[in-house]
Amino acid sequence: MTILPFGKLPPHLLADLIGRLPTDPRVVIGPRPGEDAAVIDMGDHYLVAKTDPITFATEAVGWYAVQVNANDIATTGAVPRWFMATLLLPGGLADESLARTIFGQIAEACQTLNVAVVGGHTEITYGLDRSIVVGCMLGEVPKDRLVTTGGAQIGDAVLLSKGVPVEGIAILARERRQTLLAHFDTAMLDRCANFLYQPGISVVRDAAVALSVGGVTSMHDPTEGGLATALWEVADASGHGIQLLADQPSPLVPESVICDALGLDPWGVIASGALLLTCRADRVPAMRAAFDDTGIRLFALGTVIERPGVYTPGGSELPRPARDEIARLFESG
């Protein structure tokens, strides 16, 4: 028996398991690699549903849970509307203050997005050493505005907002602070920890800006496995490939040096907070102008090509992370 490593299931295993699941004719997009939200036909519109747990972070887990689930709703072109959460608190460690803190985080995050909390489940759970929040976000989108991860077309531009890995930097600054103090001062680590809020891990606004320009063919939220995995997921879902461009500004934010200090590849670190999108090449100037107007930086990463795969400017395949770099760090202790 081979024990699976921390992180996502291997893609081949996940695809095999998904292929055995029942479905329904009203399911427009069901479980499939690369697509992070389900789409259900409600007659005159689509209902979009997403569920995701927060397992890497121990601080601000309620805020994380709302934001990352809302991101995957927004990348379909939908508006996040309703949130549910399963809150598992560690037996022997949880107190009333902890429960109130996490509920407060969920409430604050939902208020910022105009999302209603409509239900969930809470319990004190045996065998946990940290709180876990499993979120479920629901949203709605008109049928003619649906965007999928697999919608990228040959010749499209591949763009990225903000830079990476925003979420990973926040997690590392919070969860490995004592180790990082040997390399960086407290002001640097405080700034990195605040990446959760500024520039923030939400891409709801980024997606709205992109959609306002038009010409968007796909959107994706780089989560586990970081930008490298997200590029592969877009390529796999579309059935095409991505050629990365040479002589372009790096999408890595300067604070990604904390990844280097821990021996992590920042391209493979969980990266919510950046929106990966493809759009028609003729819409790139307007897209740049729209993002400039809102103060969000936009990076040109590559072009969608016919040949499947993701390729570096030198022509070699971009390595696909077997798991997220933070999962590897946490597994090693």
Write down the domain spans for the chain: 24-145, 149-331
Residue 240: pLDDT over 80: yes
- For the chain, give the percent of residues with pLDDT over 70: 99
The amino acid sitting at 209 is V
What average pLDDT does the segment 42-53 reach? 97
Task: Write down the mean pLDDT value for the chain.
Answer: 95
Give the CATH fold of the 24-145 domain. Answer: 60s Ribosomal Protein L30; Chain: A; (3.30.1330)
Per-residue confidence band for 252, with pLDDT thresholds at 50, 70 and 90: very high
Specify the pLDDT at position 333: 60
CATH 2.40.37.10 applies to domain 149-331:
no
Angle ∠(275,230,243) on CA atoms, nearest 5: 95
Specify the pLDDT at position 36: 87
What average pLDDT does the segment 212-239 reach? 96
Give start and end residues of each alpha helix (H) in 22-144: 61-74, 96-113
What is the number of H-type helices and E-type strands within the chain? 11, 12
What is the pTM for the complete model shown? 0.93
Q: Which CA distances in Å does 64 have to 88, 165, 295, 313?
A: 15, 15, 23, 34
Specify the pLDDT at position 323: 86
What average pLDDT does the segment 193-220 reach? 97
Specify the pLDDT at position 5: 82
24-145 and 149-331: same fold?
A: no
